[in-house]
Amino acid sequence: MPADSVSRMDSNSSTNEGKNMEHILSSSPVATSMRLRTDSEGSDQARFILPSTDGSPPKVVTLNELTHVVNNIENMSLVHEIAVNPEFKFEPYEAPENSLERRIKEVMHKVFWDILREQLNLDPPNFDHAIQLLADIKDCFPQIIPSSNKRALEHINEVLDASVIRQQAEQGVLDFKSYANFVITIMAKSCAPARDEQVQKLTEIDDVVETFKGILETMTVMKLDMTNYMLNSARNDILANSVEYEKAKFKEYLEYYKFGFPCTDSWLRRNQVQAQTGNLLSPDQTIYNAYMELMNWSDPDTFPEVLSVDKDRILKLGQRAKQLCASASLISICSAIPIISQRTANRTTLAKQIEILLQSVSNEKELSEAIKNIWVHIKSFINTKLSEEGDNEMDATAESTLKTQILQIGNTDSPVYNLLWKRIHTYFRLVLGSKSGTPPPPPGYTDYQDELQAFAVALRRVILYNHSVFGDYFLQVLTNQRPGAGTSSSNSDSLPSTSAANPSTEPSSQNKDEETKME
């Protein structure tokens, strides 16, 4: 019979976790391919969605395939994604609604649990299904408990020994519910803190079949937690090696590809000439200005080839910059109205509402259309607040003036929008050169401080990483050197040197809690 409780998991369960990732990056030019799962495959293994990194459909992979990816990662785009995206994680897989796969899965699961219930309700009970279920659960534990925790795994193997369980069944002394309690106890000691409540609820289920059903559902989530835990443990190793890995791959590519990158060259040289004087800028200033141009990119087809892996990410950050600029422009204009400028709560509320209304805007045409509806909302908001304080609504002159100024923001050439766009560039220049936190927001962006900082940090991470990988190539282009030839590192104040541009990732407090609990 299983013990009611077990000792706390070994403390060295996560101490050497990083050592399991020694070969996470390989210099081999052959990338490991992952087999796509299809509806025709009948396996009922836990499956997860591997997020897309290049605009292609997400991949569906099994836990074993995910573990293989984490331990033997050689796919350059995936390495890049993990390095520049601190939020990257694996997601649970769910078959599409009303799909054949989902219907078959639901039917098969229902049949399984119905058979288990019928066998347990026999007199005497038939434990064939139950014994197989416990064997499957035992096989799950190595996927949610680190392999370094040998003592815990050995204890689980001893308690869930199939031969012992079968002997108990033959002698009529098998307590199936007791085994459920043992499994739940182990899960409670090895799950992430976020799963504590879910595991605790399993102890409140009286029906033994429903208990085991809940156990398997929770274990599936815990497998995903463990996979993401492994990824986070490996993240520092990835960051430490990914830049050199990508640089080596790019250099390898340049040795065979002699035709250059016309869109990249045009992008750089276009920003090499100072518009006001026609003089050539320094390579460092040119590269900075070129990166800033990406924030207002109009033709995706001419996007720099060498940045294609981050194309979608950069374009979305550019959209976000325009949304913030338009929001700040609108709230700045509205602040000319005393009921907005003199009432902090009103200004903060309206600023948030404007940002929400602009979240779906992705280009100037959509902005122009959205501004018309936003004007109606702003007018209604101001008049409502005036009425609440017993004042008259805006008169015709004030309303007409405000409307004209608001509608001008639909054109990104408007003076207010242009001023705030320049300020966001200046702010980002400060963020890029800062070595201790982010500076305070520029005038006009006070109500969007958090949003502006989040945007700037995300953009900084992408730019510094790309500059680390391609900075030498950019300098070769701008100094007319042969691509692939050696060049000295940049000493610019605008962009940190490539050797120091590797973005670091500090584990979140939740990840730290999870790591502590796994010990």
Provide the residue type at 124 as one letter: P
Count of alpha carbons within 13 angstroms of residue 313, beta-carbon side: 21
Task: Please state, rounded to an integer, the average pLDDT across all residues of the chain.
Answer: 78
Question: What are the distances in angstroms from CA 203 to CA 159, 178, 184, 228, 399?
Answer: 19, 11, 7, 26, 63
Q: What is the span of the domain harbouring residue 91?
A: 11-239
266 in the same domain as 227: no
Look at residue 280 and give its three-state secondary structure. Answer: strand
16's tokens: 């050497």
In a domain, 143, yes or no: yes
Do both 270 and 180 map to the same domain?
no
Query: From the CB of residue 301, how many other CB atoms can be counted at a distance below 10 Å?
Result: 5
The confidence score (pLDDT) of residue 47 equals 64
Q: Residue 36's closest CA among 55, 14, 17, 62? A: 62
Q: Which residues pair with 62 in a beta bridge?
A: 47
Q: In whole angstroms, give the CA distance from residue 515 to residue 496.
A: 33
Final residue of a domain: which of 239, 270, 299? 239
For residue 400, give both structure tokens.
Answer: 């007409």
Same domain, 268 and 130: no
- Strands (DSSP E) contained in 88-237 are 91-92
- How many domains does the chain contain in total? 2
| Same-domain status, 231 and 261 | no
Q: At what angle do helices 396-408 and 364-388 cross, to 10 degrees?
A: 150
Question: 62 and 197 share a domain?
Answer: yes
Residue 62: per-residue pLDDT = 66
Q: What percent of the chain has pLDDT over 90?
A: 24
**Residue 397 maps to a domain:** yes
Report how far residue 479's alpha carbon sits from residue 282's, in angstroms, rounded to the nearest whole number.
10
Mean per-residue pLDDT pooled into runs of 10, the chain (519 residues): 39 39 33 33 52 53 59 58 77 78 84 88 85 88 85 89 88 86 89 88 88 89 84 76 82 75 90 80 88 87 88 91 95 94 94 94 89 94 93 91 93 91 90 80 93 91 89 89 50 40 38 37
Q: Give pTM, 2 decimals.
A: 0.60
- Identify whether 504 is part of a domain: no
Please indicate, yes or no, if residue 499 is contained in any of the structural domains.
Answer: no
Q: Are strands 47-50 and 59-62 parallel, antiparallel or unpaired?
A: antiparallel
Residue 277 and residue 221 share a domain:
no
* Apex 361 CA angle, 358 and 365, nearest 5: 125
User: In this structure, are 272 and 232 located in the same domain?
Assistant: no
Could you tell me if 74 and 15 lie in one domain? yes
* Structural domain includes residue 40: yes
Residues 6+ apart with CB under 8 A from 259: none
In this structure, are 57 and 121 located in the same domain? yes
Residue with tokens 């307590």: 175
For residue 509, being part of any structural domain is answered with no
Asked whether residue 249 is assigned to any structural domain, the reply reads no
Last residue of a domain, one of 239, 269, 295: 239
**Residues with Cβ within 8 Å of residue 178, at least 6 apart in sequence:** 1, 2
Q: How does pLDDT run across 419-458, given as a tens digit for each residue? A: 999 999 999 888 887 777 788 999 999 999 999 999 998 9
- Total residue count of the chain as it appears in this document: 519
* Residue 250 covered by a domain: no
Q: What's the gap between Cα 46 and its chain centre?
A: 21
**Domain match, 313 and 229 both:** no
